[in-house]
Amino acid sequence: MEVDVLLDNVKRKNPGELEFHQAVTEVVQHVAPFAARNPKYRKMAILERLVEPDRVVMFRVAWLDDNNNVQVNRGYRIQFNNAIGPYKGGLRFDGSVSLSILKFLAFEQIFKNSLTTLPMGGGKGGSDFSPKGKSDMEVMRFCQSFMTELARHIGANVDVPAGDIGVGAREVGYLFGQYKRLRNKFEGVLTGKGAEYGGSKIRPEATGYGAVYFAEEMLKRNNDGIEGKSATISGSGNVAQYAAEKLIQLGAKVLSLSDRQGTLYIPGGLTEEGLARVMQIKNEERAPLSVFCDSFEAEFREGQNPWSINCDMAYPCATQNELDENDARTLVENGCMLVSEGANMPSTPGAVEVFEGSKIMYAPGKAANAGGVAVSGLEMSQNSQRLSWDSEEVDRRLKKIMSDVHESCVEYGRENGHVNYVAGANIAGFVKVANAMLAYGVV
Ligand code: NDP
Ligand code: 2IT
């Protein structure tokens, strides 16, 4: 089938799902020419089947708030593709969550998980519930109600959720507790668990660290390194915090973080002490980033993103489509030489075009942020073995996986001496899944 026909069909069958269309278009534009050169993929309609989720589960989540009022949210789990392993992917709790957003995330997850070299299929879920401004007990009641329905659809060998925006250690704890109670099973059904009940060392750090390890690999290929470089980061949640930690450890100067209210610009560079304060603000006080300026030298730029700040490297670690074509142009004009995406699909298609055209080192999320789900895969392995590895062991494996992901991107993305990491990630991720689908016949 022609690419245009395939994309038209996707748009027609999934009306209004703009983020999903965007994610499919980006993957298909690289994979379709590759698939066309391999008639077996074409003949067996691999791409046509890949863009159709195995199933989509949508459900009501009713819960009682602290005033005993009934609240109703919508829950989702997209089980997109389990050709190479159990469905695997995070849960997002945020007011913006829609079917389109979760389908884009689940679709991306198929290729990302394939790149990690571990046996994991693609899935994603969540709810339009936002934990912001809710008490711990409200979050608990919501999580228990959400899991009461979700439990029947998941399992350690079926579908293994984890965290994403709005879902961290607290939420995973409540979700796991409810699953265990409903099924009377202590099994590795969720990752990102607390250390006391089966969580892997380095899982909280993995996505942010991984995005920096991937940047290191790109730089190494050009006989360069992180030390002495300046970096802008967006977001100030899980991924941003640990990207900042690793960058500081490796001798880079972190100039910014951000949240929904704006950007924190730290001209002198974020210190370890400053980062500890950010973690306290975001993880314990659950307060706006702007309060950082009460005790540290920094400027808060209300309503702005970090992309106008001069930097050598940019790490978008907040959310989808947070960096547009103009931002990309500004970054490149200001001398930014590397972009490593901690978030999923943070750059708009126009921005991606600017990065590709400028030939800077540009790593898309499905490669650069694969460290998070990779350590989730390692958590599954440890749970199955009923063993837990120490931090050094997990970090060593994470580094090796990021280096392997990088190698795969180079292998499939080489273009006249330059590496197109977007093409490389999409094609490398596709091949393994496509070959497994071929083995199963028409299903
Ligand atoms: P968190 O909820 O911990 O943090 C999200 C951060 O992004 C917060 O600082 C939040 O601001 C900011 N943010 C969220 N939405 C918006 C928005 N619409 N505009 C501006 N800022 C926004 O989530 P994570 O750090 O876990 O996730 C960040 C990104 O990384 C997401 O794209 C996620 O899909 C991706 N990712 C996460 C992985 C993980 O392991 N957690 C793995 C791979 C990718 P505020 O503080 O104001 O809420
Ligand atoms: O987007 C992602 O890769 C995640 N949110 C992590 C998924 C996981 O299963 O650890």
Residues 228 and 128 in one domain: no
Specify burial of residue 252 (Cβ count, 10 A radius: 0-12, 13-18, 19+): buried
Going along 291-434, which residue ranges are E strands? 299-302, 313-316, 338-340, 361-363, 414-415, 418-419
What phi-psi label fits residue 335: left (phi over 0), alpha (psi between -120 and 50 degrees) or beta? left
What spacing in Å lies between the alpha carbon of 164 and ligand 2's midpoint? Answer: 6
Q: What distance separates the 2 farthest-apart alpha carbons in the chain?
A: 64
Look up 124 and say whether it is catalytic: yes
Residue of 164, 172, 320, 369 with the most ligand 1 atoms within 8 Å of its CB, for mutation = 164
- Ligand 1, CB cutoff 6 Å, lining residues: 163-166, 168, 207, 235-240, 259-260, 282, 317-319, 322, 342-344, 369, 372
CATH of the domain at 142: 3.40.50.10860
Looking at residue 109, its amino acid is: Q
Specify if 324 maps to a domain.
yes
Atom of ligand 2 nearest to the CA of 203: 10
What spacing in Å lies between the alpha carbon of 205 and ligand 1's midpoint? Answer: 14
Q: Which of 368, 394, 417 is the last residue of a domain?
A: 368
Residues 173 and 237 in one domain: no
Atom of ligand 1 nearest to the CA of 166: 2
- Beta-carbon contacts of 181 under 8 Å, excluding residues fewer than 6 positions away, are none
Is residue 354 a contact partner of residue 328, using CB atoms and an 8 Å limit? yes
pLDDT at site 36: 87
pLDDT at site 417: 87
pLDDT mean for each 10 residues of the chain (443 residues): 91 98 97 90 95 98 98 98 98 98 98 98 98 98 98 98 98 98 98 98 98 98 98 98 98 98 98 98 97 98 98 98 98 98 98 97 98 98 98 98 98 94 98 98 95
| CA torsion, ordered 232, 236, 238, 241, to nearest 10 deg | 50
Cα 262 to Cα 70, 277, 302, distances in angstroms: 33, 17, 4
Ligand nearest the Cα atom of residue 374: 2
- The structure tokens listed for 157 are 């060998």
Rounded Cα–Cα distance for residues 266 and 233 (Å)? 11
- The structure tokens listed for 171 are 């939420």
Question: Looking at the 3D structure of the chain, how many domains does it have?
Answer: 2
DSSP 215-282: HHHHHHHTT--STT-EEEEE--SHHHHHHHHHHHHTT-EEEEEEETTEEEE-TT---HHHHHHHHIII
Residues 271 and 166 in one domain: no
Residue of 239, 282, 327 with the most ligand 1 atoms within 8 Å of its CB, for mutation = 239
Domain limits at 106? 54-186
Rounded Cα–Cα distance for residues 108 and 113 (Å)? 9
Residues 243 and 341 in one domain: yes
Specify if 349 maps to a domain.
yes
Residues 305 and 253 in one domain: yes
Q: Which of 129, 153, 186 is the last residue of a domain?
A: 186
pLDDT at site 315: 99
Residue of 114, 164, 202 with the most ligand 2 atoms within 8 Å of its CB, for mutation = 164
What spacing in Å lies between the alpha carbon of 128 and ligand 1's midpoint? Answer: 15
Catalytically annotated residue among 88, 112, 124, 201: 124
Q: Which of 186, 218, 241 is the last residue of a domain?
A: 186
Is residue 244 a contact partner of residue 233, using CB atoms and an 8 Å limit? yes
The protein residue with its alpha carbon nearest to ligand 2, atom 9, reads: 89
Atom of ligand 2 nearest to the CA of 160: 9
Residues 214 and 360 in one domain: yes
CA angle at residue 281 from 276 to 286, to 5 degrees? 145
What spacing in Å lies between the alpha carbon of 102 and ligand 1's midpoint? Answer: 14
How many residues can be counted in the chain? 443
pLDDT at site 1: 62
What spacing in Å lies between the alpha carbon of 297 and ligand 2's midpoint? Answer: 34
